Amino acid sequence: MKTHVLRLSAVLVATLLFSTFATAAEPVTPKLTEKLDRLLREEMRSIQSAMGQVHSAIVMGDHATVAKSAQAIHDSFILQQSLTDQDKKDLMSAVPEGFIKLDKEFHQLAAELAAAGSKNNTGKQLTIFNEMTQNCVQCHEEYVSDRFPGLSK
């Protein structure tokens, strides 16, 4: 268990150090409207903060905070924000399909993490948190590797 926590802590630290958003082989940010760029960056900052809260809560056995913070991550999903029809069209034309897929997977994992928090299941929380972190790293490697050269494949 301690090994998992230490490994998870190392992954979290790396994620937090490299968790702002930019461009890569398939640039995301340059194609975004100013509004969408701002919303996406806000979402990334919100997720970064909540992931830190989740990590702390997991290692302290604070299941209620895990559930609350994970639900906040799930609810931050940019496509569920109040976007105009034009904003939605702009978003879908600006980002690659793989980005949308990873984003949806990430937010689904957040919902699963919230459920694990509600069930006081620390082992499941660790597993899901690790999957979420891997999802972040994969997205940053594929879509914003110029911002995070240490994550380049």
pLDDT tens-digit series, residues 6-50: 343 333 333 333 343 333 345 455 578 888 888 888 888 989 999
Angle at 72 between CA 54 and CA 19, to 5 degrees: 60
Amino acid 78: pLDDT: 63
Whole-angstrom Cα distance, residue 113 to residue 74?
9
- The Cα–Cα gap between 105 and 116 comes to 16
**pTM for the model:** 0.76
CATH number of this structure's domain 2-9+35-151, picked from the four choices 1.20.120.10, 3.40.50.1370, 3.40.50.2020, 3.90.420.10: 1.20.120.10
Smallest CA-to-CA distance from 18 within 99, 98, 136, 143 is with 136
Mean pLDDT over the full length of the chain: 81
Task: Domain ranges for the chain, please list them.
Answer: 2-9+35-151
* Share above pLDDT 70 across residues of the chain, in percent, rounded to a whole number: 76
The least confident of 31-35, 68-72, 79-83 is 79-83
Q: Among 4-8, 29-33, 124-128, 144-148, which is the least confidently predicted range?
A: 4-8
Higher pLDDT, 26 or 64: 64
pLDDT at residue 139 is higher than 80? yes
> Is it the case that residue 58 has pLDDT exceeding 50?
yes
Sign of CA dihedral 108, 134, 113, 54: negative
